[in-house]
Amino acid sequence: MKNEWKDMLNDAFYAPEAVKKKEFLRSIRQREMSSFEMIWQQAAYIRIHVWIFAVMIIAFAVFGAATGLGSTQHIIAMIMPFTASFSVIEAQRSKWCGMTELEMATRFSLRSVVLARMTILGAVTFVVLCVISPVISVAFDQGAVLTAVRILIPYLVTMIISLEAERSVIGRKTGYCPLMIAAVVSVFIYWMAGFETRMLLRYLDILESWGILIALGLLALTFAEQWKTINNVEAFA
């Protein structure tokens, strides 16, 4: 009796064979997305204060150059570490917003997302540097390359230390560790410029002779730290 009921139910609710199943599945396949489209898509997720901060740096450089503010370059050198800290925090925002597992399950890997954000933020910094360096160098009669190096080195130092700290135990538990590192670097620049004139002059002499090589070395270390972060982002998620 039980088997008869089972056969009757199978006959009543028989599921017909799928017609053109493969064609249907192919029709709903996701559209291919280029790397540029993916980066452009991620740019929309960069928070507004990052863009505002970049514009404010440019505006201050133009203001300082127009008014002849002699400390313009030192102030910008003190601000650039915070640009680096914002970049590190923004690239790791998925972790602090609890979205890591969700992004790991999407069509793009978490590594690709972090790489795209780092690319965007690095491009923003590059544009800012390309704008403010000529402005300051022309206004204060300094070499554009030396001006760029003096502004870039605090940024790179902060970036290297912050990326290293983000992979440490303390950094994984403290979401705003890069901001604290930026504050220390900024205070050190202020202290050296305001109270250690001899050290500052010695530092400027070193930059005139070896500044480009130092900046290139720090840039290579920054790329290495970013690569470590990208490769280990899912392990530390």
Amino acid 59: pLDDT: 95
Full domain range(s) for residue 117: 35-232
Domain assignment present for 20:
no
Domain assignment present for 21:
no
Q: pLDDT tier at 78 (50, 70, 90 boundaries)?
A: very high
Domain assignment present for 28:
no
The answer to whether residues 122 and 42 touch, using CB atoms and an 8 Å cutoff, is: no
How would DSSP label each residue in 19-74?
SSHHHHHHHTPPPP--HHHHHHHHHTTS-HHHHHHHHHHHHHHHHHHHHT-TTHHH
Amino acid 33: pLDDT: 67
Domain assignment present for 188:
yes
The answer to whether residues 203 and 149 touch, using CB atoms and an 8 Å cutoff, is: no
Mean pLDDT of the chain, nearest integer: 80
Domain assignment present for 46:
yes
How many domains, the chain?
1
Could you give the angle at which helices 110-139 and 72-91 cross, rounded to 10 degrees? 170
Name the more confident of 222 and 31. Answer: 222
The predicted model gives 4-31 an average pLDDT of 63
pLDDT digits (tens, 9 = 90+) for 139-193: 888 888 888 998 999 999 999 999 888 877 776 667 678 889 999 999 988 887 7
pLDDT digits (tens, 9 = 90+) for 18-32: 666 666 666 666 666
pTM, rounded to two decimals: 0.78
Name the more confident of 110 and 68. Answer: 68
**Sequence-ordered list of residues with C-beta below 8 angstroms from that of 214, at least 6 positions apart, any chain:** 149, 153, 206, 207
d(CA 171, CA 66): 41
Domain assignment present for 169:
yes
**Sequence-ordered list of residues with C-beta below 8 angstroms from that of 180, at least 6 positions apart, any chain:** 174
Q: pLDDT tier at 82 (50, 70, 90 boundaries)?
A: very high
Domain assignment present for 124:
yes
Q: pLDDT tier at 107 (50, 70, 90 boundaries)?
A: low
Q: Is the pLDDT of residue 58 over 60?
A: yes
Q: Is the pLDDT of residue 234 over 70?
A: no
Domain assignment present for 24:
no
Percentage of the chain lying above the pLDDT 70 cut? 72
